[in-house]
Structure 1
């Protein structure tokens, strides 16, 4: 794995609009996204990643198009999906879209492939949820085949076969980076390890240290498959908010976090998100990166050491959060948190 001192830091988002809670129109949220990506690039962050969703409260159904819109106004930042719901997508088209983005950005595109924690895309595009696992396995196989070979011969169950078919354009990067995104299932960790692919763990509750056994499962599977564990990349994606003081961040973020988690929780049968749950997540061991730059930096360093991270993505986007506060979080993340994190990791 990469040395911790080279830890990549970035932003992840689903581009919330949340119209039922007084949010913003999709056109305005997309304009805001351009501001965020440009600012993240200017303050030296490494990644900006957009998750694909097909709900009325997000405006991120086409991450590649949104990211491409920022291609001409950014210079260094890597642009990624977070995630691409591969199970309900055509892998050939996914490759073409991100290969196009890769050429537009001089080699800065990435794909995070996942099965999707929200399932709206399956009926939308005519897929049966009973094939949830099988669809992802088959489509990941095809995506990896397309990225490794200009001409593809392939046969599967859920898509028409390809017979020595050319797929264009080819990405500038060879191979185009493909990460496996997971909420924490051992099967996903093993799959990523066996394929020698980088992995992203979504850690939005509990304690990040609980994911350490999954990291070991991932590394062991990679080694057994003949991959070099020291060459692998491990990332996590977690919620956060940064302000000038811990007290301000703590109080401002609680109602926003509680509202969003309870809104999703009603759909999924989760327990009510309470102040005590929030306080636990806010603690040094918790998975919520909220506070002043020094506190957030300390928590990122802790998670990096616990999980052997090479990348950390801060999820900052709820529509009821004033956009100026979101931009301030990005600014502080790049100008204050990142230097503190890298200085501390370089000492070890």
Structure 2
């Protein structure tokens, strides 16, 4: 399996670019391997030249097939190239990374996310095997690929609705890119990563079709719709609190845990959110009223969301006390912000017994 170069021209290899037909196989192979780590080049040189160039022709053919959107054929060509080279090379050889990039692009175009995930992860493993000496010999573009792979893993997981892993890989990509020089291209890509991280940290709920059942009342359908939407998003990681909150019933005993400090804190957070015209306020103004369980209120107000000690149960109990007392807290909300707050355990959108808070906008004669 020694060096088997000869002086025949590359024109003998199918699908070869005519621009390189004037150079020898040896020169062409040297050009191909010039972008891979130095320590791995001799392993390519030991492969019989015609054998390697045939595998390379499969790779080039895969590129052309991908351009023409012949995805299955492109993936088959990639598999053929990999199968041939595996006869001589370890699976973590850098050259497989080039082939897997074509394979991954094809899989993504067909939305075969599981395959794309596997091939991208393999690229990460290949890149992680590169020594520091070899890494120094690679171009900046080649070294930057590892960041792109982590970003791609995050994007694929996002498409698969696995938000936890999507965020994990996006954060790793963000950490890696922070050490790169802040030139325009890096700044732009950093912004894309940051946008994805922000989106993943505040995931948007997904709607799935829910149809009425025979003889199901409108209220029963509305209640089932709310619960099924919550369960659907919980399974996909887009619900930011425990789905059991949609069926949890209030306990009177929790109210005895509420101190004046907790009461004031919960009210202040609610007041500030409504005064800043936050989402709850905008919804209430648009629809006259907004109906939320305690977990949704906690999740909608950043200060409450960041306070792990104030659980939905405690927030629920505090708001219940405020409403039952109808004291200066409620009066101030109505007088200064024109909002009233109530609660019901018999909402048309939740199971009976679940406590739902109603924030109602009080219109003036000028509205």
Shorter-chain TM-score range: under 0.3
- Give the number of the structure whose alpha-carbon radius of gyration is greater: 2
Q: Which structure shows the bigger proportion of residues in helix conformation?
A: 2
Higher RCO (CA 8 Å, separation ≥ 6 residues): 1
Say which structure is richer in strand.
1
TM-score by length of 1: 0.22
